[in-house]
């Protein structure tokens, strides 16, 4: 692997003491996921996917989206979309054109105020309605005209009661949505929009971000049958035959009818039977919802920074990394965000100056060049493992459905696609 070559390369770590190299090799061994492990994890995933389709009580819930069929690329019309995340709110006007798979999009992005994390659901919806109204007016879409269809996507798992209604329950990952544990009926919100603001919209769909990615990408590329979100968290969706979803057999949906399934697989292997955890994973487990979301903690970007932070502190105590520096800021839990890792690992070795500036700005640390290179390798070690385990959840869908070649739509903020693709090939 590239890590092994880097650890042993005098060109990359020239001048680094032998004790540090030995410790880095130890870290590499702890985080290496070999081909056999990849296949074992994938096979376990396949079993749990089947269980999730037959039972409502399973560690992978296989959430029903009620988004049936798939786009042809020939759809036309004008639509409004709201994308509600933990940090930003986006309101878009989307025009599906006559060209196959063609579209035009106009987007407005709003930062969600921090104070809304402590406010009520009604306050949040009032803010959404206000920004929606502002966006519509900027597009000269005003009251009195025919209502446009409106779709809402959430960046968090949804339990859907139908295509227009669902509930969302999240924990520390998204404090702003704590109040949404009992999300109000969206048709009621729609009624409120018409009553209070007289906005010319009608809610027609509520979907998880992952489902939205699947449908939107399949509109342009018919071969796409699987989607995946890799941002703060990670989750895939895929298209399933309703006849194979036995837990909803009472609805009498015809065999052959297609529907998007949102896996919601963050809790995969909470029993720790196949996932190769180490002492750093156990440390994260002890401070973040113990016993829950095991897979997510090993794969999702939310935990990357904390994982790398713990490894760097370990190297400080065992090898003297950052000797003489004040590590009080770095010693705070969750003080290193995943965005820091993107800068740490994303550029060529020649851009170490930017990385040094980040350490100085955020942690009041002045690393030496060789220390920066060590930290970059640490980030590569952690992110490579995440990419390889991430590939297992995608490959399991493809194995279960017999999908080959693999066309997967990914909405991601972290640059690790090549590693995930390599793991797919290995499995």
Domains of the chain: 18-52+269-425 (3.40.367.20), 71-221 (3.30.420.40)
pLDDT confidence of residue 120: 67
pLDDT confidence of residue 197: 59
CA pair distance 338, 347, nearest whole angstrom: 15
Q: Can you tell me which residue has the tokens 């090898």?
A: 319
How many other C-beta atoms lie within 10 A of the C-beta of residue 221? Answer: 12
What's the whole-number average pLDDT of the chain? Answer: 84
In this structure, is the dihedral angle defined by the CA atoms of residues 334, 339, 342 and 347, taken in order, positive or negative?
Answer: negative
CA pair distance 78, 147, nearest whole angstrom: 10
pLDDT confidence of residue 423: 86
Q: How many residues in the chain?
A: 427
Q: Are 94 and 103 in contact (CB under 8 A)?
A: yes
Q: How far lies 289's CA from each of 172, 208, 385, 386, in Å?
A: 8, 23, 22, 19
Q: Are 173 and 123 in contact (CB under 8 A)?
A: no
Q: Can you tell me which residue has the tokens 């042993």?
A: 8
Q: What is the tens place of the pLDDT at every residue in 202-215?
A: 888 888 888 999 99
The residues of the chain scoring below 70 in pLDDT are 1-13, 86, 116-121, 157, 168-197, 346-350, 412-416
pLDDT confidence of residue 179: 30
Residue 254 has what DSSP assignment?
Answer: P
375: CB partners within 8 A, 6+ apart:
308, 312, 344, 355, 367
**Computed over its alpha carbons, how large is the radius of gyration of the chain?**
23
CA pair distance 413, 229, nearest whole angstrom: 9
The partner residues of 107 in beta bridges, in order of sequence, read: 92
pLDDT confidence of residue 188: 46
Cα angle, residue 267 at apex, residues 248 and 207 outer, rounded to 5°: 50
pLDDT confidence of residue 141: 87
Measured between alpha carbons, how far apart are the two ends of the chain, in Å? 16
Q: Are 45 and 269 in contact (CB under 8 A)?
A: no
How many other C-beta atoms lie within 10 A of the C-beta of residue 407? Answer: 16
Per the confidence metrics, is the pTM higher than 0.75? Answer: yes
Q: Which of 129, 124, 81 is nearest to 105 (CA)?
A: 81
Rounded to the nearest 5 percent, the helix, strand and coil shares of the chain are 50, 20, 35
């Amino acid at each position: 692997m590239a890590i092994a070559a880097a650890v042993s390369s005098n060109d990359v770590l020239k001048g680094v003491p032998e004790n540090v190299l030995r410790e880095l090799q130890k870290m590499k061994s702890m985080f290496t996921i070999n081909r056999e492990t990849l296949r074992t994890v994938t096979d376990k995933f396949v079993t749990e996917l089947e269980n999730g389709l037959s039972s409502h009580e399973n560690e992978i819930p296989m959430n029903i989206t009620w988004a049936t069929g798939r786009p042809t690329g020939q759809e036309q019309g004008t639509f409004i979309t709201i994308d509600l995340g933990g940090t930003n709110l986006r309101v878009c006007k989307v025009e599906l054109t006559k060209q196959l798979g063609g579209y035009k999009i106009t987007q407005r992005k709003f930062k969600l105020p921090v104070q809304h994390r402590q406010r009520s659901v009604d306050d949040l919806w009032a803010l959404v309605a206000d920004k929606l109204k502002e966006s519509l007016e900027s597009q000269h879409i005003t009251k009195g005209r025919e209502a446009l269809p409106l779709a809402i996507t959430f960046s968090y798992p949804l339990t859907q009661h139908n295509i227009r209604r669902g509930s969302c329950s999240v924990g520390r990952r998204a404090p702003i949505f704590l109040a949404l544990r009992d999300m109000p009926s969206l048709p009621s919100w729609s009624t409120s929009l018409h009553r209070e603001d007289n906005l010319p919209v009608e809610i027609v769909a509520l979907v998880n971000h992952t489902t939205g990615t699947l449908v939107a990408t399949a509109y342009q590329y018919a071969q796409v049958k699987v989607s995946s979100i890799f941002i703060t968290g990670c989750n895939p969706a895929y298209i399933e035959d309703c006849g194979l979803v036995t837990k909803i057999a009472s609805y009498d949906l015809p065999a052959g009818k297609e529907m998007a399934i949102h896996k919601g697989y963050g809790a995969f292997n909470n029993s720790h039977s196949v996932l190769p955890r180490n002492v750093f994973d156990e440390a994260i487990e002890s401070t973040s919802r113990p016993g829950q979301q095991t897979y997510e903690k090993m794969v999702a970007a939310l935990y990357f920074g904390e994982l790398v932070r713990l490894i760097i502190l370990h190297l400080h105590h065992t090898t003297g990394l950052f000797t003489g520096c004040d590590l009080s800021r770095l010693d705070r839990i969750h003080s290193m965000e995943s965005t820091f890792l993107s800068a740490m690992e994303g550029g060529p070795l020649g851009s170490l100056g930017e990385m040094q500036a980040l350490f100085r700005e955020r942690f009041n640390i002045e690393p030496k060049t060789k220390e920066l290179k060590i930290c970059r390798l640490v980030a590569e070690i952690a992110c490579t493992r995440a990419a390889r385990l991430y590939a297992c959840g995608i490959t399991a869908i493809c194995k279960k459905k017999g999908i080959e070649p693999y066309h997967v739509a990914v909405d991601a903020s972290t640059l690790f696609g090549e590693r995930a693709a390599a793991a797919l090939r290995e499995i």
